Structure 1
Amino acid sequence: MKIIALKYLLKSVPMRKVLLITLGMSAFLFASSQAQNISLAPDNVIPYQVTVAQSDYKGKNALALQMPKTAINEKTFALLKNIDFHNGIIEATISGQPQMNAGGGARGFVGIAFRVSKDTSKMELFYIRPTNGRANDQVRRNHSTQYVSLPGYPWERSRAETPEKYEAYADMMPAEWIRVKIEVKDETAKFYINGAEQPTLIVNDLKQGKNLRGSVGLWIGPETLGYFTDVSIKKLD
């Protein structure tokens, strides 16, 4: 009966309409799978505990971020406006370096926050420590890339309770452009560095759960001067 009904439906709809409907659905699916290049400008972001300025850095038009010493938590980013992200791919070119007169613990922390909730109370985050990439200390090298999740899962907790699970090595240098890519699907996220075919860091248990969705943030850590450019977002749901 279902087959007969389908045949009757196809016969009753003019072929021109069927073609238009098919083309329309194909165009929608194609558009939804394309990467959106983000226009980076101070007016297109909402800063949280950071200063944002337009900058020409190493030949690229970029946003420069710095954190004042008055920051009270790790919610230190420039949030992209009008972004609703759940599953998909985020790509960006980023650079981080310690600020002038920074302390010995400065690493040039810079990264990308994703699924940032509307009230910014929850988020997932991958970031890098560029000064660790070529350090002579192997332990420091092992801490070149990092996953954290807020609230509840700062790097200190992860390193104490599950050492090595949410950190990994990648070659990098401070004050240089580094291409990063984040692939997100439900509770899994993969972090790629400089076009590598294999991810540097894989997280199979995103701490805020598979249903969280939200914006994308350009993130920096303490005593960091960070630069961001070439941001694109591809939504896959």
Structure 2
Amino acid sequence: MFDRIKLAGVTACLVAVLTVIHAGAAETELSLPLDQAAQVEAHNVTIRAIEYRGGPALEIRRIVSGAAPDIDTFAFVPGFDFHNGTIEVEVAGSPLPDAPPGARGFVGVVFRVQTADGTFACEGIYLRPTNGRADDQVRRNHSTQYFAYPGYDFARLRREAPAQYESYVDLIPGEWTAMRIEVNGTTAKLFVGGAPQPALIVNDLKRGADAHGSIGLYVDNGTDGHFRKMRVRPTS
């Protein structure tokens, strides 16, 4: 039995939500084409609906380019609550012309996002597209990245557990790349480009098994970020 429902805080004309009743349990599936800026709420970023590589997309950029990396710079879906499940979205990231030297086109997904009274908490996984085919093998090994804010930026995780929260995956800057993240308790698995095996596995999500919150689109320093076709399928 399928019933269309309205997602709290987001109008039905912007978002399609499907409630599936199965064996007495309800699961809410969120589908967003990401073709209108009002579908997400800005958090230290700008949002613009544009045409990109043949179709509608959202362009998301940090408000202050060149500032310190690893801060809370994302756009999130208001009124949505996610605990466990699967997040799918297509992303394209590349450095802006005025990006600082260390910019890599950082683009990805945040989940279990909490924002209240000017504070925030979230965790997520992003890609470094310019690392995917770099001539330096160490840079290649840093093509994906898990993080949790506040407290667990890439520098701390790399320092305390080298290679544990990063991995290699083939990437091309500026091209559409499919990301799928499966979240269950304290585990998250990243699948890239439809691959049957994960490129990155995190078994100790820093916000814990009970964390929950919204879903968002992440960019970091100097990134020209684009997003389309988001689909979220919670399991609990």
Q: TM-score, structure 2 length as denominator?
A: 0.85
Query: Who is 1:173 aligned against?
Result: 172
Confirm or deny that 1:133 pairs with 2:132.
yes
Which amino acid is the alignment partner of residue 107 of structure 1? R
SS of structure 2 residue aligned to 1:104: coil
Confirm or deny that 1:38 pairs with 2:32.
yes
C-alpha distance in 1, partners of 2:193/2:27? 23
Whichever structure has more strand as a proportion of its residues is 2
Query: Who is 2:44 aligned against?
Result: 49
Query: Who is 2:5 aligned against?
Result: none
Which structure would you say has the larger Rg? 1
C-alpha distance in 2, partners of 1:84/1:118? 12
Query: Who is 2:13 aligned against?
Result: none
Instruction: Report the alpha carbon displacement of residue 39 of structure 1 after superposing the two structures with TM.
Output: 4.2
- Deviation by residue 1:121-171 (Cα, 9 ceiling, x = unmatched): 211110000000000000000000000011111000011110000000000
Query: Who is 1:188 aligned against?
Result: 187
Equivalent residues of 1:118, 1:215 under 8 A apart = no
Instruction: Report the alpha carbon displacement of residue 118 of structure 1 after superposing the two structures with TM.
Output: 3.5
Equivalent residues of 1:89, 1:181 under 8 A apart = yes
Confirm or deny that 1:29 pairs with 2:22.
yes
Query: Who is 2:60 aligned against?
Result: 65
Query: Who is 2:160 aligned against?
Result: 161
- Deviation by residue 1:18-57 (Cα, 9 ceiling, x = unmatched): xx9xxxxxx6128944742124221121101111000111
Equivalent residues of 1:67, 1:223 under 8 A apart = yes
Which amino acid is the alignment partner of residue 88 of structure 1? G
Instruction: Report the alpha carbon displacement of residue 113 of structure 1 after superposing the two structures with TM.
Output: 0.1
- Deviation by residue 1:150-203 (Cα, 9 ceiling, x = unmatched): 111100001111000000000001000000000001111101100010100001
Whichever structure has more helix as a proportion of its residues is 1
SS of structure 2 residue aligned to 1:65: strand
SS of structure 1 residue aligned to 2:138: helix
Which amino acid is the alignment partner of residue 233 of structure 1? V
Instruction: Report the alpha carbon displacement of residue 233 of structure 1 after superposing the two structures with TM.
Output: 0.3
- Deviation by residue 1:69-109 (Cα, 9 ceiling, x = unmatched): 26676110111122110000000000000011212211000
Which amino acid is the alignment partner of residue 99 of structure 2? A
Query: Who is 1:92 aligned against?
Result: 89
SS of structure 2 residue aligned to 1:111: strand
Counting matched residue pairs gives 213
Cα RMSD between the aligned structures?
Answer: 2.0
C-alpha distance in 1, partners of 2:127/2:165? 12
Query: Who is 1:203 aligned against?
Result: 202
C-alpha distance in 2, partners of 1:45/1:65? 11
Query: Who is 2:114 aligned against?
Result: 117
Aligned residues: percent identity? 44
**Structure 2 unaligned residues grouped into runs of 5+:** 2-19
Confirm or deny that 1:150 pairs with 2:146.
no
Equivalent residues of 1:32, 1:235 under 8 A apart = no
SS of structure 2 residue aligned to 1:140: helix
SS of structure 1 residue aligned to 2:50: strand
Out of 45-54 and 61-70, give the one that drifted further: 61-70
SS of structure 2 residue aligned to 1:103: coil
**Structure 1 unaligned residues grouped into runs of 5+:** 1-19, 21-26
Q: TM-score, structure 1 length as denominator?
A: 0.85
